[in-house]
């Protein structure tokens, strides 16, 4: 039996990635955008497989992140085949009330690497500093105030 696949354009792949980010900002459901066997990476969490595992990662991050807003106008995209790389900035608020904004605090710059086929996210690796509230700065000498 042959595996059926749907051909996608670069713009369609880009629109799936953008829809994921917009849903995150609105607090809408994102999980129907993922393939059932998605592979997912988040810093300090590691690589997980499957939508149920991705839901667990997001449940854990919800204990830290109360709100997020991505700066869509300033995204950089790199596309090749099924891969869409999105580099951008964000702002938001932690659950304990600390705010972050790219260029103002240490958090807020990120890069997501998507693989999108058949209108589903097959793989998503997120690269960012998960210390949204600047609570882990003492260990880094270059952050010492002079």
d(CA 43, CA 46): 6
Q: What is the pLDDT of residue 132?
A: 83
Helix (H) or strand (E) holding 93: strand 83-94
Domains identified in the chain and CATH numbers = 10-25+32-131 (3.10.450.50)
Q: What is the pLDDT of residue 4?
A: 58
Of residues 141, 128, 7, the one with CA closest to residue 70: 128
d(CA 67, CA 93): 5
Query: Exposed, middle or buried, 100 (CB in 10 Å: 0-12/13-18/19+)?
Result: buried
DSSP state letter for 90? E
DSSP state letter for 111? E
Q: What is the pLDDT of residue 3?
A: 58
Spans in the chain with pLDDT lower than 50: none
Model-level pTM? 0.91
* 57, 47 contact by CB (below 8 A): no
pLDDT digits (tens, 9 = 90+) for 50-91: 999 999 999 999 999 999 999 999 999 999 999 999 999 999
């Amino acid at each position: 039996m042959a595996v059926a696949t749907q051909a996608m354009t670069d713009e369609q792949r880009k629109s799936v990635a953008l829809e994921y980010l917009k849903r995150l900002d609105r607090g809408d459901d994102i999980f129907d955008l993922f393939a059932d066997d998605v592979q997912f990476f988040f810093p300090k969490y590691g690589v997980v497989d499957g939508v149920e595992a991705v839901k667990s990662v997001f449940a854990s991050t919800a204990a830290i992140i109360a709100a997020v807003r991505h700066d869509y106008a300033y995204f950089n995209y790199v596309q090749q085949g099924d891969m869409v790389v999105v580099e951008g900035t964000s702002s938001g608020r932690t659950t304990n009330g600390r705010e972050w904004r790219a260029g103002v605090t240490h958090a807020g710059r990120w890069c997501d690497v998507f693989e999108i086929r058949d209108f589903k996210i097959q793989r998503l690796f997120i690269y960012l500093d998960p210390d949204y509230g600047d609570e882990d700065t003492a260990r880094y000498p270059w952050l010492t105030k002079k």
